[in-house]
Amino acid sequence: MTFLRETPSKDINLIMTAQTNTAAAAGTWDLGNLTVNRIGFGAMRLTGSVAFGPGIPGDRDRSIGVLRQAIELGVNHIDTAAFYFSPHLSANELINRALAPYPDDLVIATKVWPARDPSGAWWWATPEQLRGQVEENLRQLGRDHLDVVNLRVPPSRKTGSIADHFGALAELRDAGHIRHLGVSNVTPEQLAEAQTIAPVVCVQNSFGIGASAGQQELLRSCGEQGIAFVPFFAIAGAGREAGATATEHEDVLAIARAHGATPAQIRLAWTLRRGPHVLAIPGTGNPHHLAENVAAGTLRLSEDEMARLQSLG
């Protein structure tokens, strides 16, 4: 099997010309009244942490450089959270340090409900505690409002109401602290419930090659409703929080070779082709991988290739 991030030798031109293959090449979508390029950036790995598990130490200067490079490549949608931190680095504070004063078109999306104490131990906020989480994101990012806040539903809430928590965020939106609301890790029923309380501009759920029928139906339904679908684990797949595995399916490798691309780029290109409302937020602390991810927006897969990838379970 082949290492996931190995770059085919004939692909070197694709990577070297990434500076001209900006995030805008994949098109745009509106999050409420905020227009973003469909290739965005996930900040989780900047700190070396992987949020829900151990990671390797991050490098401050390199992380700041990656963030600035992302903006140069046309990225104007960054996904982050106050609980993305390691013993020495905080994703929100890295974003502040690297990018403030922020570009006018930059949209920063964060998420609340989960939290970590200084030791790294997890806890889940009550509806009344969400205001404090929003204020912490505001402080760390150095902003007077948050562009998008996603309510990240706990894994234990596969069923049940999210109305109390989402209602608390809706009140903060009405007060001007938040512009737009989204939901994350939700069921179709929870999405429908949230929409009865306040407009939902995006759904951030796990999705990628091998997605279940239910995951694919939710993606389709979001498109019909004009809601952005923002998949996480689009590259990592079964590796989830730990990242992409060291092996890859032979069909993905074959299509990657045909395009002179990496398997990760093929996974991103396939995901983006699922609908104009699908936004990608691949995360990395590696400047070379960042250039690869953005360049994936220029790949055009054939219908046959899409079908082959769709069939993978």
- Contact between residue 232 and residue 204 where contact means Cβ atoms under 8 Å apart: yes
Here the tokens at position 203 are 């759904």
DSSP 237: G
- Contact between residue 183 and residue 166 where contact means Cβ atoms under 8 Å apart: yes
List the catalytic residue out of 29, 41, 84, 270.
Answer: 84
Rounded Cα distance between 18 and 65, Å, is: 16
Task: Let me know if 102 is a catalytic residue.
Answer: no
List helix spans (H) across the chain. 12-16, 60-72, 91-99, 130-141, 163-174, 188-195, 213-225, 250-259, 263-272, 287-295, 303-310
Q: What angle, 0 to 180 degrees and rounded to 10, lies between the N-to-C axes of helices 263-272 and 303-310?
A: 100
User: How would you classify residue 257: left for phi > 0, otherwise alpha for psi between -120 and 50, otherwise beta?
Assistant: alpha
**Integer distance in angstroms from the first to the last C-alpha of the chain?**
18
Q: Which residue has the tokens 């990608």?
A: 280
Amino acid identity for residue 282 in this structure: P
- Contact between residue 40 and residue 28 where contact means Cβ atoms under 8 Å apart: no
Neighbouring CB atoms inside 10 A of 247's CB total 12
Rounded Cα distance between 290 and 252, Å, is: 20
DSSP 66: H
- Contact between residue 19 and residue 72 where contact means Cβ atoms under 8 Å apart: yes
Q: Which residue has the tokens 């205001």?
A: 131
Rounded Cα distance between 102 and 98, Å, is: 9
Catalytic residues: 84
